[in-house]
Amino acid sequence: MFGTPDYLFSSIYDITPNFFIKHGVSFVLCDIDNTLVTYDDITPPKELMEWFENMKKSGIGFAFVSNNCPERVEAFNRELGYPYIAKAKKPLPCAPLRLLKENGIKKSQAAMLGDQILTDSMAAASLGILSVNVPPIKDRTGSFFKFKRRIEKYFMRPYWKKHPDQGELCRLWHEKTGNKYK
């Protein structure tokens, strides 16, 4: 189904450089909030800095694609120094495509990493690039986010049917999003 993630992980720390290399990915368009850190984390923690350093040593580049405001993205990215676009209007593919073009990256070399199906996975599907998702670190509980999470379950069901061996991961996603997938 259009928008269903290609791969799911329980956290970004389970994603290794070898995973990206195996899939021909050398550049990752990455969401920030609830993918890498909570909305409350202003700067990347040490563990995340080390994860990025490990990716960089293996030749994996990054750019941030966030729907958040420029001040938020700039503050988070200050120590990292990656290319970025704030107020990206995901799932529209314009901003991610612009980052790929500005960095000379072919779609076949790119992946989108995020926590939301209706923004991150849909943007990846619109671009025709690999979609890698993690569950939200600390999901927002407002009615708009609850509504979006309810819609997401229809996009996730095909993934779980295709990967019945990932029961533990399915339970984690249910816990983090409140969605039952069976």
Q: Could you write out the DSSP letters of every residue in 138-154?
A: S---SHHHHHHHHHHHH
Is residue 110 domain-resident? yes
**Is residue 151 domain-resident?**
no
8 A C-beta contact, residue 5 and residue 133? yes
Query: Would residue 109 count as lying in a domain?
Result: yes
- Domain enclosing residue 53, as ranges: 7-139
On whether residue 178 sits in a domain, the answer given is no
pLDDT of residue 180: 61
Percent composition of the chain: helix, strand, coil (DSSP 3-state, to 5): 45, 15, 40
- 31, 116 in Cβ contact below 8 A? yes
Question: If phi over 0 gives left and psi between -120 and 50 gives alpha, with beta otherwise, what is residue 3?
Answer: left
CATH number at 64 reads: 3.40.50.1000
Q: What is the pTM of this model?
A: 0.88
In a domain, 108, yes or no: yes
Higher pLDDT, 160 or 62: 62
Domain total in the chain: 1
In a domain, 145, yes or no: no
Give the Cα separation of 9 and 19 in Å (integer).
11
Q: What is the pLDDT of residues 74-118, one digit of tens each?
A: 999 999 999 999 999 999 999 999 999 999 999 999 999 999 889
Determine the average pLDDT of the residues in 117-127.
94
Task: Please check whether residue 87 lies inside any domain of the structure.
Answer: yes
What is residue 179's predicted lDDT score, i.e. its pLDDT?
A: 64
For residue 42, what are the contacts with CB-CB under 8 A and spacing of at least 6? Answer: 75, 76
In a domain, residue 62? The reply is yes
